[in-house]
Amino acid sequence: MKTVLVSKQGNAKTDILFVGVFKDEKKPGAIKKTEPLFARILEAAAKKGRFSGKSQEVFASFQTSYRRASEVVAIGLGDKKDLKAVTLRKIAGKIIEIASARKASKIRVMADTFLGGALEARDVAAIFTELAGLAAYRFFRYKTKKKDELPKFPETMELVFDDQKALKELKPVVSRAEMIAKSVAYARDLNNEPGNVMNSSRLVEESRSLAKEKGLKCTVLGLPELKKLGMNGLLAVNQGSVTPPALIILEHGEEHKAKGTVCLVGKGVTFDTGGISIKPSKGMEEMKFDKSGAIAVIATLGLLADLKSPLHVVGLAPCVENNVANDPQRPGDIIRMYNGKTVEVVNTDAEGRLILADALSYCEKFKPVAIIDAATLTGLCHYTFGDKACAILGTDQKLIDVIREAGEKTGERCWQLPLWDDYADAIKGNHSDINNTGDGYAGTITATMFLKEFVPAKVPWIHLDIAGTAYTAKNRYDCPKGATGFGVRLFAELLSNWNRENYLSV
């Protein structure tokens, strides 16, 4: 869907004109000026209690003043002072849903009528543009239906702002939002692919192709290199797979002394059976989404290139399949990890932390000022937060706060859990330094305590457990059932405004 900025409605026709109306707004002046007939109809409806302007309330009419729109739709915005980005995102998604249901090919949004709370014109432009791409996303690659039987979305969305001078400033905002939506769609595409298609080898191909297209540096550590380096956590998890493992490393930009290097690490289990500690069959098909962290990192690196970020960012994606063919690892196996520590494998379904551990240790090679990892690490996180937020834990409170703020702005919310030393006892090994499961309690926290053992000393580190947010089991206002692309927008917001002095405690 293409977003077009316009300063006046003009005489060009559109299928649907959308206007925002705040709760108990007695005289919606902007509507009166644009569509006086609809304004009178709306006022009459309000008097009869048929429309109050509460959030996401809808009132539509085919009676229009100048025949520029086939239909006018008023969307309730709630209290003007309380309008927030997260609410406007839902409203923008609602607009795309209505347009799709009406099979509209062109829609027009009176953007100024959606200004409220602390939101500025640039926020409204960015949110509508981004949501237009996110809400219209569908994964139909394997559908055999004819195109006319599939859902239809508008081809064009016009955003009308009265201030003509502001349009020049809003153009890069819209362009950026379109790039972000495109990158999220790319992440969703990769993640929605099934395990028989998107295995480690295919992810390597995709990464190399992306690197060539975007001008990134791509390094792949394959089986021989991983063995030579002693990345035995990664190797052990992949023992049960016929597809070779890989550590994909993408680099954007050059090392910058003032800003420093930021490492992003993403868990890439292309399919997770649980190994010998096999998972229940119900819902196992969703384990293709266990590669969500890796894909978020890969897509983010491509986006940073599009945005021409001045940062030096290194993305590491350890990729394996946790299967039961060949010679899979066993409960009770002891592994010597890349950093020399030994781990007893109590449960082969706690595999993600093993591959992340080696990748986190390897980050030391790049001398980063910060490391952030994203992983569908624990089912307990999903139970705790559902699909509404990811868990955030780490060693730098300043950076945690900044990431949480970025999450509120992008709608990719994070909620902090403690990382107290008290939890360390739970992962002490019997015949090894540590074990890979904890004691059965506070699983999201103890899994993070495990990862902490492998983070380079004195480097600020943040862990995002995206187990509940990486995919959705039902259609949402911003995403159909399937992969969400969670993390791409969050990372883009964080890294676009990266300030080493203000973001880090050390």
Q: Note whether 479 and 139 are within 8 A (CB).
A: no
Per DSSP, helices labelled H in 136-277 are 164-192, 200-214, 223-229, 232-237
Q: Note whether 58 and 73 are within 8 A (CB).
A: yes
Q: Pick the closest to residue 136 from 110, 170, 175, 98 (CA basis).
A: 98
Beta strands 414-416; 334-336: pairing state:
unpaired
Q: Is 279 a catalytic residue?
A: yes
Q: Cα(270)–Cα(409) distance, rounded to whole angstroms?
A: 30
Distances in whole angstroms, Cα of residue 352 to Cα of each of 165, 290, 465: 51, 9, 11
> At 271, which helix (H) or strand (E)?
strand 268-272
DSSP tag of 280: P
Q: Cα(326)–Cα(273) distance, rounded to whole angstroms?
A: 14
Count how many Cα atoms sit within 13 Å of the Cα of residue 375 in the half-sphere of its side chain.
33
Catalytically annotated residue among 176, 291, 353, 413: 353
Distances in whole angstroms, Cα of residue 8 to Cα of each of 104, 122, 147, 168, 240: 21, 17, 34, 14, 62
Q: Is 500 a catalytic residue?
A: no
Catalytically annotated residue among 68, 214, 279, 341: 279
DSSP tag of 80: G
Count how many Cα atoms sit within 13 Å of the Cα of residue 155 in the half-sphere of its side chain.
3
> At 371, which helix (H) or strand (E)?
strand 370-375
Q: Cα(166)–Cα(125) distance, rounded to whole angstroms?
A: 11
Q: What letter represents residue 71's amino acid? A: E
Q: Note whether 221 and 229 are within 8 A (CB).
A: yes
Query: What is residue 471's three-state secondary structure?
Result: strand
So which residues are the catalytic ones?
A: 279, 353
